[in-house]
Chains A and B, each alone.
Chain A
Amino acid sequence: MRLNCPCCGPRGLEEFTYRGDATVRRPESPTAPAQDWVDYVYLRDNPAGPHRELWYHGAGCRSWLVVTRDTRTHAISDVVRAVDVARADKEGAGS
């Protein structure tokens, strides 16, 4: 599998570390309902098909990436920097 790092270009799997589902978001507050935390930390959609997920280019530029990948075929349709996604989300939520 090869991920096209937006900073470094296409690189092999061996340079990356996988984290998991990028659609779950950390509750804003430690006092958010317990179930929100359980959902965030433990529950996953785990789809067979397109999956948005976090990868870390640890052997490269150390960027966290949000990768859209089909879990049935491993075909990758999109790779973006996680920080851009996170900022856009926060700005979107703030407006």
Chain B
Amino acid sequence: MKLLRQGKSSASGDPSQSMRTTTGNGIDTSRTIHFTFDGRRYAAHPGDTLASALLANGVRLAGRSFKYHRPRGILSAGAEEPNALVELRTGARREPNSRATVTELFDGLEAASQNRWPSLAMDALGINGVFSPVFTAGFYYKTFMWPAAFWEKVYEPMIRRAAGLGRAADEADPDIYEKATTFCDVLVVGTGPAGLAAALTAGRTGARVLVCEQDSLPGGRLRAEHGEIGGMPGWQWAEQAMDELRQMPEVRIMTRTCVFGTYDGGTYGALERVADHVPTPAPDQPRQRLWRIVARHAIVATGGIERPIVFPNNDRPGIMLAGAVRTYINRFGVTPGQRAIVYTNNDDGLRTARDLHRAGATIAAIVDARTTETPLARDMAQLTGAKLFMGGAIADTYGRLGIHAAVIREHSGLTQRVPCDLVAMSGGWNPELSLTTHQRTKPVYDETLCAFVPGTMPAGMRSAGVANGTFATPDCLREGTTCGQDAAQACGFSATVADLPAAGTESYAIVPLWHALPLDRPARTGKAFIDFQNDVTAKDVRLAAIEGFRSVEHLKRYTTLGMATDQGKTANVNALAQMAEQTGSSIARTGTTMFRPPVQPVAIGALAGAARGRHFKPDRLTPTHDWATEQGAVFTANGLWHRAQWFPRPGETHWRDTVNREVRTVRTAVGFCDVTTLGKIDIQGPDAATFLERVYVNAWRRLPIGRARYGLMLREDGFAYDDGTTARLGENHYVMTTTTAHAGSVMQHLELCHQWLWPELDVRFISVTDEWAQLAIAGPKSRDVLRHIVDPAFDISNEAFGYMAAATVTICGGQEARLFRLSFSGELAYELAVPARFGDALARLLMKVGAPYGIAPYGTEALGVMRIEKGHPAGPELNGQTTAHDLGMGRMLSTRKDFIGRAMAARPALTDPARPALIGLVPVNAGDELVAGGHLLPAGAQATAAHDQGWVSSAAWSPTLNGWIALGFLSNGPARLGETVMVHNPLGNSVTAARVVSPVFVDPNGERLHA
């Protein structure tokens, strides 16, 4: 007989798969593939998981625990795995904390152990185990406080060095992800007997059924067991059922898809692993796909998770869950040990002895915590020739890197040491009910099953099979069928239910077993682990109880129980039960195990999908975007818009040269700028004028057709909201412009005003932002240029088409356009709007016809400089914190009408004359720079907040004034023109003397506007 010793078989690097002793229903032994673990090459078969392949090659040591760095093996065969976590793949595709038990093997897979140094077998931080008597739960809270300065400098860096498990990739994830939404009548989660029965039943009704299976193969536990359904092995029945489902036109099947979360309104999140089972995705193929599933009804048939038994040193490699042992034997053809002890408190665990025996292993002992012998226990002992210890326990184990013996404590109290290389333990099964608790509906404790079962469930959800606490296969089939039928019926589909296939009934007969040894006798020798990954022991639970951390939430937070990557799937109930015992309470009264989504950890990349990098948000392009690109424009983001910021020319070495030139061109000749991004809203209806009166602070009734007016909007709380010009195009027809930033929210605001506040007003709106390409043409020669474009039938002379005129015109021989005499720059200026398709052509035309006048395009930066020169407020001034009074527009507020914000704008704090109000600033010493974001303090005042009287909102170098200028808000500002204040910018270590001036720096009387 050969006993497994860690190190021997793996050290030899023998690719013989020596532990592959039988055939498995889930692997293809006709092909051999290879993989590496910690640099060593091994052989395996398609269908293997990394865990089954490691076990096949006799590798038992797979990882280290988080806190004590204890050597750990493979505990489970599923997603609940706490121990066997590895770094998968390398480089930019490195995936830390990957569970070997659910990692599908592919040829060339590379995996490495993590959280160890220098090697898995020789981990230096294993020393933590020596100090473990100090490192109890709550240890950190009680220490590292002296001296105070040492936390950040000494203790925390030390703790952080030891922190974490695997390493995140160092580079950007090269793979792509996508998302999709799907709808169904009935969602079935899981393809064990209950799930398949539900899917078949619902599918046969013609309902739209979506079946999700997180595994690559259907069947769930059927693949792990010997039981038959319908006269064939269960796994074959499952495949047959899947084939039938595939034939149903309204049934959709997603394998490798984990439904990870239950959200409101029948929405579920699911992750499909599209290309995780291959080395790299095909070109353009997503690695994973996030599904948003909208289901009218859902059937949770997610099976169960086996509980470990809490006994001293229950964490050594080679101590596994009994159900996992059966999975490795029956599905993967791997026998995880040659000399096994089966330790159970239920009949299900006992069957492991049979499967091990059939696979050729020796059963050294069957330890059954139940004191009364069950028929199955007797049968199993007889079949395997194992010694049966009813009422027994495992009191300790030996083997640093893998178990080689266990101490069995007989019911009588006598102990004996039994050599072994495998302990298959079963503490009973917990229904996997996570999905039923995500909406904070609580599960209930079932005394007979010694487990929590789903309680009240979210609307439309049912659970079936083990997930519902129903264990025997015939019952699972029956329950699945009923759920499938009920769910389909609730969606309006009915069917006759087919006969259930025959299946054998297995006994369960569990007794509670929350710890192997009495808790009042704390073992000094060995830790009895509850949460394997986070190293939470029975003793920690006891300490938490002593210190008053007795509620489940306190227990978790104080001991870190259930906080590891497995979220306590194997730990929580054992811990809860021990706490109940410690506090002399019942399990039901102590608390419950609720789960937070996701059921399985989900890659952040998958949740983000395709929205990343340059495609993080959609791009909005102006009609002249391509033309501006040809011109070499530098673009800037303005919300979603890309706008030309400036148009550099050869020889310009600094962006400011460019901007200065663009400003000078506008001020002296003519320039043009794409202003399409401003929100444009078409407003029509008999009550349009009344409506404008209500949303703007100023008056609109008397605005003549063919004229535009500046308008200011407040929020209902009286602060300034948005501004822009609105032109009257017809009797009941207006076109409103908004700022670029608020275009969407103003639309929403107008709709609210109309639909909710004043539904009696007869008015309609629609966005025309995208309909019109709108170009500002500004400068003393703008009219000259326009004359080449606007058809001669339209008189655009100053007399006929003065400042603030608006008209529909034709250009270029009949093309309809809109012309507005508006100016943001302060020059003679127009805005010309053409259907968007012609925007590009208009820009090219302006360049051509404007060339003799020295025309140049200008970008948002020059636009910004010129609006500061004119003292026009923009985003930095309309920041949601300023009032009309602050902006110098207090007098615009009409007192003759109701409008949004009127009442609240009258509150004392909003009308306080001491509020900082808009002023202009110029440096006292020519050439000094004024910094936006600087604070305004009186000259000579100490640089403290007590003397803070305002701030600089916008600043620019003015090529027109040949110096820095700024807009700002200063307490009592308008009354302080001429005063010198200090612009404090401690962030930039500067203090600059500035003179308070009018905010209109250029052409204060507006002569140019009217030229």
Contacts and interface: CB of A to CB of B under 8 A. Distances in A.
Q: Give yes or no for direct A-B contact (beta carbon below 8 Å).
A: yes
Interface of A: 1-2, 10, 12-13, 17, 19, 26-27, 29-32, 34, 37, 40-41, 54, 56, 58, 62-64, 73-76, 81-83, 86-87, 90
B945 interface: no
11 contacts: A2-B266, A12-B267, A17-B748, A30-B903, A34-B903, A37-B903, A54-B756, A58-B744, A76-B265, A83-B759, A87-B759
A8 to B, nearest CB: 15
Interface of B: 181, 263-267, 292, 294, 439, 459, 716-717, 744, 747-748, 751-752, 754-757, 759-760, 898-899, 902-904, 907
Nearest to A26: B757
Nearest to B766: A62
A87 B755 CA distance: 9
5 cross-chain pairs, A with B, having the tightest CB-CB distances, nearest first: A2-B265, A1-B264, A83-B755, A30-B902, A64-B755
A82 B265 contact: no
Nearest to A37: B903
Contacts of B748: 17, 56, 58
A62 B903 contact: no
Interface of A is mostly: mixed
Given A75-B459, A87-B759, A30 B898 contact: yes
B903 A64 contact: no
A85 to B, nearest CB: 8
Contact of A64 (B716, B717, B751, B899): B751
A2 B716 contact: no
A37 B902 CA distance: 10
Contacts of A10: 265
Given A82-B756, A83-B756, A90-B759, A41 B904 contact: yes
Contacts of B898: 29-30
Contacts of B756: 54, 64, 82-83, 86
Contacts of B744: 58
A19 B752 contact: yes
Given A12-B292, A27-B903, A2 B757 contact: no
Nearest to A62: B751
Contacts, number: 70
A34 B754 CA distance: 24
Given A2-B294, A82-B755, 8 more contacts: A19-B752, A26-B716, A26-B757, A29-B898, A34-B903, A74-B264, A86-B757, A86-B759
B902 A90 contact: no
A56 B903 contact: no
B752 A56 contact: yes
Given A83-B755, A86-B755, A86-B759, A41 B264 contact: no
A41 B717 CA distance: 7
A54 to B, nearest CB: 7
B752 A64 contact: yes
Contacts of B904: 37, 41
A37 B459 CA distance: 40
Nearest to B908: A34
Contacts of A90: 759-760
Contacts of B760: 87, 90
A12 to B, nearest CB: 7
A93 to B, nearest CB: 12
B899 to A, nearest CB: 8
Contacts of A81: 755
B71 to A, nearest CB: 46
B179 to A, nearest CB: 11
A62 B751 CA distance: 8
A54 B749 CA distance: 12
B267 to A, nearest CB: 7
Contacts of B751: 56, 62, 64
Nearest to B754: A83
Contacts of A87: 759-760
Given A41-B717, A64-B751, A2 B264 contact: yes
A81 B264 CA distance: 22
Nearest to A36: B903
Nearest to A64: B755
Contacts of B292: 12
A65 to B, nearest CB: 9
A95 B717 CA distance: 30
B902 A2 contact: no
Nearest to B898: A30
Contacts of A58: 744, 748
Contacts of B267: 1-2, 12
Contacts of A30: 898-899, 902-903
Task: Among A2, A13, A30, A58, find the residue whose CB has the most chain B CB atoms closer than 10 A.
Answer: A30
Contacts of B759: 83, 86-87, 90
Nearest to B750: A62
A66 to B, nearest CB: 9
Nearest to A66: B756
A32 B903 contact: yes
A2 B181 CA distance: 13
Contacts of A40: 716
Contacts of B752: 19, 54, 56, 64
A56 B760 CA distance: 19
Contacts of B907: 34
B5 to A, nearest CB: 56
Contacts of A31: 903
A56 B752 CA distance: 8
A10 B265 CA distance: 10
B261 to A, nearest CB: 13
Nearest to B751: A62
Contacts of B717: 41
A5 to B, nearest CB: 13
Nearest to B745: A17
A26 B898 CA distance: 11
A37 B903 CA distance: 7
Contacts of A12: 181, 265, 267, 292, 294
A66 B759 CA distance: 14
Task: Among A12, A13, A27, find the residue whose CB has the most chain B CB atoms closer than 10 A.
Answer: A12
A31 B906 CA distance: 10
A53 to B, nearest CB: 12
B461 to A, nearest CB: 13
Nearest to B265: A2
B753 to A, nearest CB: 10
